[in-house]
Amino acid sequence: MTGSSDPGAPDAHARVSWWPAPAKLNLFLHVTGRYADGYHALQTIFQLIDRCDRIGLAVRRDGRIERRAGLAGVEPQRDLAVRAARLLQEYTGITLGADVHVDKHIPAGGGLGGGSSDAATVLLGLNALWGTQVPRGELARLGLALGADVPVFVGGHSAWGEGRGEQLWPLALPPRCYLVLHPQVAVSTAEVFQSPDLTRNSAVITLREYAAECVGNVCEPVVRARYPQVAEALEWLSHEARVGAQLTGTGSCIFAGFEREQDARQIAARIPARWSGFVARGLDRSPLHAML
Ligand code: C5P
């Protein structure tokens, strides 16, 4: 139960194993209420995609948790990957430590769940490397304290999600390719959820109603109003794709789904230089779980 070794990595001699951390898209997002602690009750579909960060892990005998590489501008002690390692260490009382490498490919602040997925991969990877044998349900519960999107990545399936995002029902979604566009702006999730303009009383719907109706993301009007770059990108992609573009999470990334990869790639080739984007495939199961 180890990740793939990467002979090209600078620390290969330190027995770093490499583990994928996939991104997600929210195919719709409703806010159906609010909890006493201020968090929101959601309904969503989490679609995992094959765009991944890579997490390198090496066991340390001295008990220290050290970040060896990570996102510039994020202090190691605030990095969710490091916090996940500390959380599992404290929870299990294990005396081993770890070196943690975070190789980012998922845009941060984009609504793609990259930080949460990194944290989930650290929880699952170190649980395997340390031999701590914490059950997955317990890892998901621990991870929820780090971020509302951590449980879906611990679960490792595309899923219907409710609650804060921790009540999950795995789904087999139609195969799709997604063009994901990053308008080069970071959106604050907390700011969007605090907005007085956010619709907090969406009707609770069923999967059948989702399939029959055209349901979208309630955060979109708030984000459009506060981030003109996102509004502009949504208009551009809706026009190019002719299938409707939508926000993932609280943005800033937006996406459109295609049955044929070549259609997504043709539009990706026309993305204006001020933005960036990529094409990714939808996955029913996380590549991490295929390795575990
Ligand atoms: O859990 P995460 O770190 O992604 O959440 C960031 C912020 O978004 C939280 O501090 C909270 O203000 C808001 N949030 C919320 N309800 C959720 C998820 C997030 O209010 N279900």
Same domain, 166 and 182: no
Mark residue 273 as left, alpha or beta (left: phi above 0; alpha: psi -120 to 50; beta: remaining): alpha
Report if residue 292 sits inside a domain: no
Q: Does ligand 1 lie within 6 Å of residue 37's CB atom?
A: no
At residue 128, what are phi and psi to the nearest 5 degrees?
Answer: -75, -45
Across residues 179-196, what is the average pLDDT? 96
Distance 44 CA to ligand 1 centre (A): 14
Q: Is the separation of the CB atoms in 237 and 247 below 8 Å?
A: no
Q: Does ligand 1 lie within 6 Å of residue 40's CB atom?
A: yes
Same domain, 195 and 227: yes
pLDDT digits (tens, 9 = 90+) for 91-149: 999 999 999 999 999 999 999 999 999 999 999 999 999 999 999 999 999 999 999 99
The predicted structure's pLDDT at residue 212: 83
Q: Does ligand 1 lie within 6 Å of residue 190's CB atom?
A: yes
Report if residue 98 sits inside a domain: yes
Q: Does ligand 1 lie within 6 Å of residue 39's CB atom?
A: yes
Q: Does ligand 1 lie within 6 Å of residue 24's CB atom?
A: no
Residue 149 known to be catalytic: yes
Ligand 1 atom 20 nearest Cα: 39
The predicted structure's pLDDT at residue 199: 94
Q: Is the separation of the CB atoms in 158 and 230 below 8 Å?
A: no
Q: Which of 139, 171, 203 is the C-terminal boundary of a domain? A: 171
From 9, 27, 17, select the one nearest 160 (Cα to Cα).
27
| pLDDT of 86 over the 90 cut | yes
Same domain, 87 and 196: no
Number of domains making up the chain: 2
Element (H, E) at 41: strand 40-60
Same domain, 35 and 96: yes
Same domain, 23 and 160: yes
CATH number of the domain enclosing 259: 3.30.70.890
Q: Does ligand 1 lie within 6 Å of residue 269's CB atom?
A: no
| pLDDT of 245 over the 80 cut | yes
Distance 8 CA to ligand 1 centre (A): 37
Same domain, 23 and 126: yes
Largest CA distance in the chain: 56
Distance 183 CA to ligand 1 centre (A): 22
Query: 32, 40, 80: which to mutate for ligand 1, most atoms within 8 A of CB?
Result: 40
Domain hosting 59: range is 17-171
Same domain, 159 and 229: no
Query: Residue for token digits 């611990």?
Result: 154
| pLDDT of 14 over the 90 cut | no
Catalytic member of 79, 99, 118, 149: 149
**DSSP at 132:** -
Model confidence at 85, in pLDDT bands (50, 70, 90)? Answer: very high
Same domain, 23 and 163: yes
Mean residue pLDDT of the chain comes to 94
CATH number of the domain enclosing 129: 3.30.230.10
| pLDDT of 11 over the 90 cut | no
Q: Does ligand 1 lie within 6 Å of residue 119's CB atom?
A: no
Residue 24 known to be catalytic: yes
Ligand 1 atom 9 nearest Cα: 190
Model confidence at 18, in pLDDT bands (50, 70, 90)? Answer: very high
Beta strands in 71-156 (DSSP E): 97-103
Q: Which of 140, 171, 202 is the C-terminal boundary of a domain? A: 171
Same domain, 88 and 229: no
DSSP-assigned beta bridge partners for residue 149:
none
Lowest-pLDDT range of 102-106, 208-212, 247-251, 270-274: 208-212
Model confidence at 72, in pLDDT bands (50, 70, 90)? Answer: confident
Catalytic member of 11, 24, 50, 197: 24
pTM of the complete model beyond 0.85: yes
- Closest ligand 1 atom, residue 42 Cα: 21
pLDDT digits (tens, 9 = 90+) for 19-56: 999 999 999 999 999 999 999 999 999 999 999 999 99
pLDDT digits (tens, 9 = 90+) for 218-243: 999 999 999 999 999 999 999 999 88
**Higher per-residue confidence, 276 vs 4:** 276
